[in-house]
Amino acid sequence: MKRPVSRVLRVLLACSLAGAFPAVGAPGEKSAAAGADPVAKIESAGGAVRRIAKGSDALEVDFQFGGAAVTDDHLGVLPALGPVQVLRLKNTRITDAGLAHVGSLKGLKRLHLDGTAITDAGLKHLAGLKELESLNLFGTGITDAGVDALRALPKLRQVFIWQTDISPAAVARLRKDAPGLEVIPDPEAERERAESIGSVSKSALASAEAALAQAKKDVNELAPQAAQLKQSFEAAKALADKAKAKAADARKQADEDARRIEPAVKDAEAAARRAAAATGDAALAAQAQEKARLVAELRERAEKSRQAGDVAKAEDDQARKAFDEARSRSDKAGRAKRVLEQAEVAVASARERVDAATSDAVPLSRAAAEPRSVQKAISNQ
My answer on whether 208 and 188 are in the same domain is no
Residues 34 and 174 in one domain: yes
Q: Is residue 1 part of a domain?
A: no
Q: What is the pLDDT of residues 316-338, one digit of tens each?
A: 888 788 778 877 777 777 777 88
CATH number at residue 11: 3.80.10.10
Region label for 123, one of left (φ > 0), alpha (ψ between -120 and 50) or beta (otherwise): alpha
Considering the domain architecture, whether residues 163 and 212 belong to the same structural domain is answered as no
Amino acid identity for residue 76 in this structure:
G
Which of 84, 28, 76 is CA-nearest to residue 51? 84
The answer to whether residue 186 is domain-embedded is: yes
Closest CA to 329 of 259, 227, 194: 227
User: 216 and 315 share a domain?
Assistant: yes
Range(s) of the domain holding residue 345: 203-359
- Per-residue pLDDT band for 371 (boundaries 50, 70, 90) equals low
User: What helix, strand, coil percent values describe the chain, rounded to 5?
Assistant: 60, 5, 30
Contact 103, 76 (CB under 8 A): no
Global pTM value: 0.52
Judge whether 364 lies within some domain.
no
Q: Prior bond to 4 cis, omega within 30?
A: no
Residue 354 forms part of a structural domain: yes
216: β partners: none
Residue 75 lies in a domain: yes
Alpha-carbon span 315 to 337, nearest angstrom: 35
Return the pLDDT at 126.
Answer: 96
Is 208 a member of any domain? yes
In a domain, 365, yes or no: no
- For CA atoms 318, 322, 327, 332, the dihedral sign is positive
pLDDT digits over 143-202, tens only? 999 998 999 999 999 999 999 999 989 998 998 888 889 999 887 777 777 778 888 888
| Element containing residue 159 per DSSP (H, E) | strand 158-160
Are 229 and 184 within one domain? Answer: no
In the predicted model, what is the mean pLDDT of residues 255-277?
86
Statement to judge: residues 185 and 207 lie in one domain: no
229-253 pLDDT tens trace = 777 768 878 887 887 888 888 888 8
* Count of all residues that appear for the chain in the document: 381
Domain count for the chain, please give it.
2
The answer to whether residues 104 and 207 belong to one domain is no
For residue 23, report the phi and psi dihedrals to the nearest 5 degrees: -70, 150
Q: Are strands 84-88 and 158-160 parallel, antiparallel or unpaired?
A: unpaired
Question: Are residues 155 and 268 both part of a single domain?
Answer: no
Residues 119 and 237 in one domain: no
Is 198 inside any structural domain?
A: no
Query: Is the four-CA dihedral 270, 274, 277, 283 of positive or negative sign?
Result: negative
**Per-residue model confidence as pLDDT tens digits over 279-320:** 888 888 888 898 889 889 888 888 888 888 788 888 788 878
Sheet (strand 84-88) strand order: 48-51, 59-62, 84-88, 110-112, 134-136, 158-160, 182-184
Both 314 and 215 in one domain: the answer is: yes
The answer on 329 and 283 residing in a single domain is yes
Q: Does residue 63 carry a pLDDT above 50?
A: yes
**Cα pseudo-dihedral 240, 245, 247, 251, rounded to 10:** 160
- 339 and 220 in one domain? yes
